[in-house]
Amino acid sequence: MPHPPDLLDQILALDPGARRIAAFARPRAALAAARALRRARRALIATGFTVEPGLPETDGPPGAAVLGRALRVLGARVSYVTDRVNVAVLEAALGALGEPRDVVVYPDAGGAARAILAAVRPTHLVAIERPGRTRAGDYLSERGESIAAFNAPVDELFLAPGRAITVGIGDGGNEIGMGSALARIRRLGRGRARLASIVRVDHLVVAGVSNWGAYGVVAALGRLAGRDLLHTPGDERRLVEACVAAGAADGITRKREPTVDALPLEAHAAVVELLRLAAASGIMGAR
């Protein structure tokens, strides 16, 4: 008999962008990812999605910083990887939480996956709102525009042979990890199928906003570890504002303002508060 949806799933199932994420999200995915990440010794977190030349978005780096901090507190060595245009934004997010800025810059031309994996030797490899290639080998925005020219092929890390456990967190179907839900995404129609990434992961977490997916994993990690690992609503405001100050823009509106996926800061702060309540209450199913 299938499990009823727990509180964490219900929060992550909020779909303000009407992307129909319920069609390709899996129940208790954040909890499964948290259980895998709890054993991480060395984590490499990939993030950064550029929607136009020189215009990285606000979704992704905050989630990477929050998840990275949680893993570091639990004893893992954490590194981050992104491309040149996203470095300042990711470092700003890390700085907002007072986290070490151990960021690897992936070359625009690609081809560095084996060298980076050999140097970092991750036990766990995570992608949060990072473009993944389509079946045609392109990288597409949700508008159907090719973004390959200004997003380095970081997904090569997830395609290279290795023993790392992989986690993908996304919201639209065009991110690293969505290959694990490809058949379900294709049922949403030809347009969505064209955008879909074919890059698979061991654990796929789908949420209404990718940052929320990362926060949900952290909430589950905190419940499993019996400690408070999630940031505060005030931290959330500082994270997004720091990213915008470093040059990030809203991925939907394309405006450099402190919003994420066209939602104001207060909406994101409210989701953080809901996740904190869920983690503290013990009724979210993370046991």
Tell me the average pLDDT of the chain.
Answer: 95
Give the ranges where 160-264 is alpha helix by DSSP (H).
Answer: 182-186, 190-195, 210-225, 233-245
Phi, psi of 156 (to 5 degrees): -55, -30
* pLDDT value, residue 5: 57
d(CA 7, CA 279): 9
Residue corresponding to tokens 């013990």:
282
Q: What three-state secondary structure class fits 219?
A: helix
| Residues 11 and 286 sit within 8 Å (Cβ to Cβ) | no
pLDDT at 262 > cutoff 90: yes
* pLDDT value, residue 282: 59
Could you give the percent of the chain with pLDDT greater than 70?
Answer: 96
What are the angstrom distances between the C-alpha of 206 and each of 16, 147, 192, 214, 280? 13, 22, 15, 9, 22
Give the ranges where 97-232 is alpha helix by DSSP (H).
Answer: 113-120, 156-159, 182-186, 190-195, 210-225
* pLDDT value, residue 2: 44
d(CA 100, CA 89): 14
Q: Which domains are seen in the chain, by residue range? A: 7-280 (3.90.1640.20)
